[in-house]
């Protein structure tokens, strides 16, 4: 097993590429985008993701470009702190439990490392089709070439085309929620993640991503109303009922801030294989978790590092891949289940027995176990 094609240069594909290259494999990375340095938006990166990033040697470069913290504040929409909870250290006691970052900062570190490692990267290129042969895969690429690999790893995201090529019938589903995100200034006091409940929207919150920036979000209905407001005006309208630090955030929102709205979708291929012969799918291509406990990218990183560990073992490749898939499905199922439960409680707050903090803490506690 020497020559591997990785399809997709998001966090799953980049971390997998680094892990495999460091084991001496020849990796070719295919990314359909011409401009590969990743878009802005903030991301919460939890300890188990940091552990995987440490495995590929990226952590030291990432840490100085981010904002680590240890606590989560739960607040009332009027700004009052209800309680402050410690975040479980899912990456082990020596790593920060959580940090906030700009996605583009993470992506830049990973992309730089891939170039420094001399990996063959084909930008603006897609996988069109493939054919499994005895112990190899022949991949047809959009640049018109046809190339043979020992293994193809598809990390092409929630809209994966490879998923369809592999005959997987699962489709992404709507969560019933939408999310606005914006990057703004922050005050020195806003130095850990804070989530605001009991407001006019499902919930709102912010996460610090550097010494003076945070990303803020608000969970809403999944369809942006056609109310004639600009994105800036709409975001200020949605956040009008949130106070305390949100008064500062609202004032900091101008036309220039990076903003984005999207309906939240999810996917979990639980009852079909993630493998078709020598083609295996990882990351959001087979498990896109609604971001209610901010574990999606962490699960992607775990997939990538663990897959490389399995591929370093002796034994029949197909059997190793199936063992990997079985192990990952169990782990990811807990995250998806908890995230969907939390989404359901946001949508139907009239239910009895709602225990948002308990489910979140329970899911993260489970993740303190090895991936
Ligand atoms: C609103 C929102 C907020 C989130 N917040 C968090 C958070 O705070 N913390 C967290 O851990 N997770 C979060 N997540 C989840 C996280 O963003 C995803 O799990 C993760 O980015 C998925 O990475 P990926 O590499 O599997 O897929 P992607 O990031 O989608 O990457 C796929 C890559 O493949 C490329 N590609 C696609 N098709 C092809 C093809 N045919 N050929 C070649 N290349 C192709 C794409 O251009 C892309 O670069 C959030 C998700 C959402 C939607």
pLDDT tens by residue, 198-238: 999 999 999 999 999 999 999 999 999 999 999 999 999 99
30 CB near ligand 1 (under 6 Å): yes
pLDDT at 1: 82
pLDDT band at 39 (very low <50, low <70, confident <90, very high): low
Q: Classify 196 as helix, strand or coil.
A: strand
Residue with CA nearest ligand 1 atom 41: 126
Residue with CA nearest ligand 1 atom 9: 294
Region 84-101 average pLDDT: 95
Is 70 exceeded by the pLDDT of residue 331? Answer: yes
The per-type count for the chain, helices as H runs and strands as E runs, is 10, 20
29 CB near ligand 1 (under 6 Å): no
d(CA 204, CA 186): 15
pLDDT band at 41 (very low <50, low <70, confident <90, very high): confident
Region 118-135 average pLDDT: 97
d(CA 270, CA 286): 8
Rounded distance from Cα 285 to ligand 1 centre (Å): 9
Is 90 exceeded by the pLDDT of residue 40? Answer: no
Rounded distance from Cα 369 to ligand 1 centre (Å): 24
pLDDT tens digits, one per residue of 130-166: 999 999 999 999 999 999 999 999 999 999 999 999 9
Query: How far is the first Cα of the chain from the last one, in angstroms, to the nearest whole number?
Result: 24
Measured from the Cα of 264, ligand 1's closest atom is 53
DSSP 105: H
Q: What are phi and psi of 63, to 5 degrees?
A: -50, -50
| Cα separations in angstroms, 248 against 185, 206, 329 | 8, 12, 42
291 CB near ligand 1 (under 6 Å): yes
Rounded distance from Cα 201 to ligand 1 centre (Å): 25
DSSP letters, 56-110, are TT-HHHHGGGSEEE-EEEEEETTS-EEEEEEPP-TT-TTS-SEEEEEHHHHHHHH
The domains of the chain, with CATH numbers, are: 3-38+105-172+266-366 (3.50.50.60)
pLDDT tens digits, one per residue of 269-300: 999 999 999 999 999 999 999 999 999 999 99
């Amino acid at each position: 097993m020497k020559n591997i094609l990785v399809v997709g240069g998001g966090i799953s594909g980049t971390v997998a590429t680094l892990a495999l290259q460091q084991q001496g494999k020849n990796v070719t990375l295919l990314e359909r985008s011409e401009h590969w340095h990743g878009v802005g938006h903030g991301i919460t990166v939890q300890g188990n993701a940091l552990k995987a990033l440490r495995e590929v040697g990226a952590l030291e470069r990432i840490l100085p470009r981010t904002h680590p913290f240890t606590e989560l504040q739960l607040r009332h929409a009027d700004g009052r702190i209800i309680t402050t909870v410690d975040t479980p250290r899912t990456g082990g006691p020596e790593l920060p439990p959580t940090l906030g970052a700009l996605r583009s900062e993470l992506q830049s570190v990973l992309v730089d490392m891939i170039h420094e490692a001399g990996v063959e990267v084909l930008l603006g290129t897609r996988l069109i089709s493939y054919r499994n042969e005895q112990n190899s895969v022949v991949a047809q690429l959009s640049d018109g070439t046809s190339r043979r690999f020992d293994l193809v790893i598809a990390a092409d995201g929630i809209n994966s085309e490879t998923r369809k090529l592999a005959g997987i019938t699962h489709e992404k589903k709507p969560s019933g929620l939408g999310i606005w995100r914006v990057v703004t200034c922050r005050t020195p006091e806003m130095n850990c993640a804070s989530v605001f409940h009991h407001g006019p929207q499902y919930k709102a919150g912010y996460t610090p991503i550097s010494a003076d920036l945070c990303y803020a979000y608000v969970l809403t209905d999944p369809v942006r109303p056609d109310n004639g407001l600009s994105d800036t005006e709409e975001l200020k309208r949605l956040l009008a009922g949130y106070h305390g630090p949100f008064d500062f955030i609202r004032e900091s929102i101008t036309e220039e801030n990076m903003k984005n709205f999207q309906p939240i979708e999810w996917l979990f291929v639980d009852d079909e294989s993630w493998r078709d012969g020598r083609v295996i799918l990882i990351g959001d291509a087979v498990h896109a978790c609604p971001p209610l406990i901010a574990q999606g990218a962490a699960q992607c990183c775990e997939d990538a590092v663990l897959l490389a560990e399995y591929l370093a073992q002796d034994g029949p490749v197909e059997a190793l891949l199936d063992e990997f898939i079985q192990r990952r499905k169990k782990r990811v199922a807990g995250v998806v289940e908890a995230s969907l439960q939390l989404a359901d409680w946001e949508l139907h707050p009239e239910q009895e027995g709602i225990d948002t903090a308990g489910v979140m803490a329970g899911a993260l506690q489970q993740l303190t176990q090895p991936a």
